[in-house]
Amino acid sequence: MEMLFPLLLTIHILVGLSVIGLVLIQHGKGADMGAAFGSGASGSLFGASGSANFLSRMTAILAAVFFLTSLGLTYMASSKPKAPDSVMDAVKTQPAMPAAPVETPSVPDSKAKDIPK
């Protein structure tokens, strides 16, 4: 599951770039009028109308894959365990134990009290 997220993200980015490329390759609605006056569209790789069908189908397929990878990435990102807000959230708290009385060592008689003030 840990390797699936980067793999899905890589596929998502590649499909997104492919959709951008396919949309830029396609002719607009106004390109048909230019083809009628001999702009050379009939001599293209797919023929006069073949490129429109192929490119539009590939765009639709890649858009569907992009949509599915978006849903998959959203699900995977939302199902990750939540990280603690601070370092102290990860520390288990223990109940406070009463402190044992601390005995202070007795100071032997010093000569400080013999000094006059």
Place of tokens 């001999």: 38
For 112, the token pair is 């400080």
Does the predicted model carry a pTM greater than 0.85?
no
Percent of the chain topping pLDDT 90: 35
Q: What is the pLDDT of residues 42-68, one digit of tens each?
A: 445 555 555 668 888 999 999 999 999
Q: How far apart are CA 62 and CA 91, in angstroms?
A: 47
Amino acid (one-letter) located at 41 = A
| Phi, psi dihedrals of residue 100, rounded to the nearest 5° | -70, 145
Q: According to DSSP H, which parts of 26-100 are helical? A: 31-36, 50-78, 87-90
